Amino acid sequence: MISLAIPWALALLPLPLLVWRFAPPHREQVAATRVPFFRRLTDAAGIEARPGARVPKRSRWQMFAALCVWGLIVVALARPERLGEPLVIEKSARDIVLALDISGSMDERDFALPDGQVQQRLAAVKEVLKAFIGQRDGDRMALIVFGTKAFVQAPFTDDLVSLNGFLDQTVVGMAGPNTAIGDAIGLSVRLFDASDVPERLVILLSDGADNSSRMTPINAAAIAADRGVTIQTIGVGDPEASGEDRVDLDTLEDIAKRTGGAYFYADNSEALTEVYDRIDAMAPRKVEQTSFRPTQDLTWVAAGAAVLTALAALTGLLLPRRRRTA
């Protein structure tokens, strides 16, 4: 489909007609032969001498060529362009931060598999988390790992394959042996400072109690709520354990409640898979669609045709003159 980017330029088409009709004719003084008895000639002919001009006659093809050149110039000014098929671009309307506890307790091998065997907590969480990430096509996701300190393992990206690669590189204890839930929430909130999407979600998974944060998890959750960040929390530890190995389910539930999120507890692989399915149902993929039509500028076609037409007309004028002078 061909369209004009500046269609109002076509209003210039009648300009030569207006100039011919209303503009005064061009006058130019040229050398002439002086006739001493000019007055007697005019008296004999019965005419009155006055200023005059000779207007060369133009052939039809010259007029046609001039009109074509002008029309092509005006079309070039109107910027013709070819419109391609509409293209739809989907952009994520939500950013998701995965905050994963990799403290020393995540090395415990007490996570029950469907076949009855037990697996390391972090390994089981990774397997289920990979499947969840694979279903988030179109969302931007980031990965934060925390132990004694919280670190950004992967910034926001829509390359989920790379995100799974960063998840594979995560090992127990690489962020320290303790648990800093409050710092992980605070770092997640700071990650959203560079985000302009309307919906912000944090999925926080921990198997312990906060014991090394500079800010309490409850205060961090309050800040997250003020920034419009929703936190879904998942507890995967043993609530009956003692000391650092006991998962603080009450705190995780309070964090989720303060931010408008939901709290879950999973003690085996099947339960964890069900938790992520429920989160997926609660927070389905959201996208913003924008469409545009690619354009190909065709101004050069009209301009080139105008130049070629003008050169052809000029050649047609000069050739007969050369033949007459030859």
Q: Label residue 190 by pLDDT band (50, 70, 90).
A: very high
pLDDT at 74: 92
Which has more confidence, 61 or 97? 97
% of the chain residues with pLDDT over 90: 31
pLDDT at 115: 77
Q: Averaging pLDDT over each range in 112-116, 161-165, 286-290, which range is the top one?
A: 161-165
pLDDT at 226: 93
> Is residue 91 pLDDT above 70, yes or no?
no
pLDDT at 25: 72
Cα distances from 27 to residues 15, 24, 55, in angstroms, run 21, 9, 11
Q: What are phi and psi of 40, to 5 degrees?
A: -65, -30
Nearest to 118, CA basis, from 209, 279, 238, 206? 238
Q: Tell me the mean pLDDT in the region 80-108.
A: 81
What DSSP string runs through 284-298?
A: ---EEEEEE--EEE-
pLDDT at 284: 62
Are 295 and 84 contacting, i.e. CB atoms less than 8 angstroms apart? yes
> Residue 324 corresponds to which tokens in the numbers above?
């007459």
Q: Averaging pLDDT over each range in 144-153, 198-207, 263-272, which range is the top one?
A: 144-153
Residue-level length of the chain: 326
Contacts of 276 (CB under 8 A, 6+ apart): 128, 129, 131, 132
> Is residue 67 pLDDT above 80, yes or no?
yes
Q: Tell me the mean pLDDT in the region 92-96.
A: 74
Q: Averaging pLDDT over each range in 111-120, 247-256, 315-324, which range is the top one?
A: 247-256
Which has more confidence, 57 or 181? 181
Domain 89-289 coded CATH 1.10.760.10:
no
On average, the pLDDT of the chain sits at 84
pLDDT at 143: 94
Which has more confidence, 23 or 79? 79
pLDDT at 61: 81
pLDDT tens-digit profile of 208-260?
Answer: 788 888 889 999 999 999 999 999 999 987 777 666 667 788 899 999 999 99
pLDDT tens-digit profile of 261-305?
Answer: 999 988 888 888 888 888 877 766 666 666 667 888 989 999 999
Q: Where are the domains of the chain?
A: 1-21+58-84+296-326, 89-289
Give the C-alpha separation, 155 to 174, whole Å. 18
> Is residue 326 pLDDT above 60, yes or no?
no
% of the chain residues with pLDDT over 70: 88
> Is residue 147 pLDDT above 80, yes or no?
yes
pLDDT tens-digit profile of 28-43?
Answer: 777 777 778 877 877 8
Q: How far apart are the first and last CA of the chain?
A: 51
pLDDT tens-digit profile of 135-144?
Answer: 877 778 899 9
